[in-house]
């Protein structure tokens, strides 16, 4: 089904933000033309690689605009089904292991707040558009350098755009299938992930957890088709949990320091009863990791 037909619905088009074109003669225009020609070859893994002799920041800037447009188009396909009623929280993940996302932009909304999925996406798209319009972050004039915080800013953008993909897959995939857009969604997401992995744009790999199985499956197919080596580094192990430290009473200190044969005498002394009882709780309550189902990721 042609995407132009999918956007024929007036109500759906109303939720669609204008596409940001690359202006002819701009710093990113020739890169965009070159990238589009490479995409026609079918190998998305090679298409995202920085061409020899090109500036990495300009390459990143060009693709950031294009992926913003892609996510914008994809969400427009499900916007009429994604409402405050159907999606009261921006989320992804299975029912047994959901992930919820709160919104904060650091300026108008400092403290992360829970909002509905359509509100979250609206906040997000407006925020990304504001980033793209910022000449200090995305300079368009020749010879103007990109700022030192350019890459960290992109990482924040791509982390949030990934959440839109995750929400579409988990909450609106049936709608995507119904309109025949599943192949387009998979191709856009695979392209997005190749770019993210190539330039390390989502540093916290736990963010990828809701779609990790899909990522592995899509990339595995390409590895078999094109003979690619797509080994991903496993996420770093969680730090060991340590029990909370408590101040020992004199009796507890005496018990801990005493030789093993004397500890029985100390515990058998009725006067040590209070200390012995307290000694059973030296390590405090058992510490357990937070349940994944309770995960609440903010900005």
Full set of structural domains in the chain with CATH: 3-226 (1.20.140.30)
Cα–Cα distance, 8 to 23 (Å, whole number): 26
Beta bridge partners of 100: 91, 296
Tokens of 195: 């770019």
Q: Is 39 exposed, middle or buried (0-12, 13-18, 19+ CB in 10 A)?
A: middle
Write down the pLDDT at residue 71: 96
Write down the pLDDT at residue 201: 97
Write down the pLDDT at residue 45: 85
pLDDT along the chain (299 residues), means of 10: 38 47 52 51 81 91 93 95 96 85 94 96 95 92 91 97 97 95 94 96 94 92 72 49 46 55 50 37 30 38
Beta bridge partners of 101: 297
Q: Which of 187, 122, 136, 132 is nearest to 154 (CA)?
A: 132
| Phi-psi region at 42: left, alpha or beta (left = phi > 0; alpha = psi -120 to 50) | left
Residue carrying structure tokens 């504001």: 130
Q: What are phi and psi of 98, to 5 degrees?
A: -80, 155
Beta bridge partners of 58: none
Write down the pLDDT at residue 123: 96
The model carries a pTM of: 0.68
Under 8 Å between Cβ of 91 and 117: yes
Under 8 Å between Cβ of 92 and 169: yes
């Amino acid at each position: 089904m042609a995407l132009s037909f999918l956007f024929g619905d007036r109500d759906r088009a109303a939720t669609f933000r204008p596409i940001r074109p690359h202006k002819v003669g701009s710093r990113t225009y020739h890169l965009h033309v070159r990238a589009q020609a490479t995409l026609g070859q079918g190998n998305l893994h090679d298409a995202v690689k920085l061409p020899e002799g090109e500036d990495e920041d300009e390459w990143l800037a060009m693709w950031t605009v294009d992926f913003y447009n892609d996510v914008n188009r994809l969400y427009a396909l499900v916007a009429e089904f994604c409402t405050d009623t159907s999606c009261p929280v921006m989320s992804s993940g299975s029912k047994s292991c959901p992930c919820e996302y709160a919104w904060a932009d650091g300026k108008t909304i400092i403290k992360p707040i829970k909002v509905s999925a359509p509100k979250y996406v609206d906040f997000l798209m407006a925020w990304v558009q504001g980033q793209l319009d910022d000449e200090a972050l995305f300079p368009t004039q020749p010879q103007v350098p990109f700022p030192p915080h350019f890459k960290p800013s992109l990482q924040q953008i791509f982390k949030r755009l990934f959440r839109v993909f995750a929400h579409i897959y988990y909450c609106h995939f049936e709608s995507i299938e119904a309109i025949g857009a599943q192949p387009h969604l998979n191709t856009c997401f695979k392209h997005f992930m190749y770019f993210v992995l190539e330039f390390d744009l989502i540093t916290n790999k736990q963010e990828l957890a809701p779609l990790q199985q899909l990522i592995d499956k899509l990339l595995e197919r390409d590895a078999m088709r094109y003979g690619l080596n797509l080994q991903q580094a496993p996420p770093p192990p969680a730090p060991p949990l340590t029990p909370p430290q408590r101040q020992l009473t004199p009796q507890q200190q005496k018990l801990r320091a005493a030789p093993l044969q004397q500890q029985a005498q100390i515990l058998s002394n009725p006067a040590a009863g209070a200390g012995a009882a307290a000694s059973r709780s030296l390590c405090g309550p058992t510490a357990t990791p937070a349940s994944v189902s309770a995960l609440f990721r903010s900005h």
